[in-house]
């Protein structure tokens, strides 16, 4: 198997397994709580993975973590407000 296919399959499996971890709160908790837990879990994962990335690249971890958290929180906020706008528009 070529390196490209190995990388593609490994990426798919890793993303699939991480996505499955977000299913657990939805199955076990009321929706409002599940959303809060999922956002917290996602930001925690983002923080840990950013830290590991920074260490591997030997750059200050706080800069990488801050950058990724700002982007992640921005995406969450924009998605929330666009969803509210769509709901209001279509209701």
28, 36 in Cβ contact below 8 A? no
pLDDT on residue 51: 97
- Tokens 């973590």 belong to which residue? 65
pLDDT on residue 26: 95
pLDDT on residue 24: 96
Q: Say how far apart CA 13 and CA 76 lie, in whole Å.
A: 24
pTM over 0.85: no
Mean per-residue pLDDT pooled into runs of 10, the chain (91 residues): 90 96 96 96 97 96 97 97 96 89
């Amino acid at each position: 198997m070529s390196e490209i296919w190995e990388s593609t399959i490994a990426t798919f499996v890793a993303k699939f397994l991480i996505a499955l971890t977000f299913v657990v709160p939805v199955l076990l908790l009321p929706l409002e709580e599940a959303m809060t837990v999922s956002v917290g879990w996602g930001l925690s994962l983002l923080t840990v993975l950013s830290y590991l990335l920074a260490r591997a690249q030997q750059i200050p971890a706080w800069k990488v973590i801050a950058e990724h958290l700002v982007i992640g929180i921005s995406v969450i906020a924009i998605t929330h407000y666009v969803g509210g706008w769509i709901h209001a528009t279509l209701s």
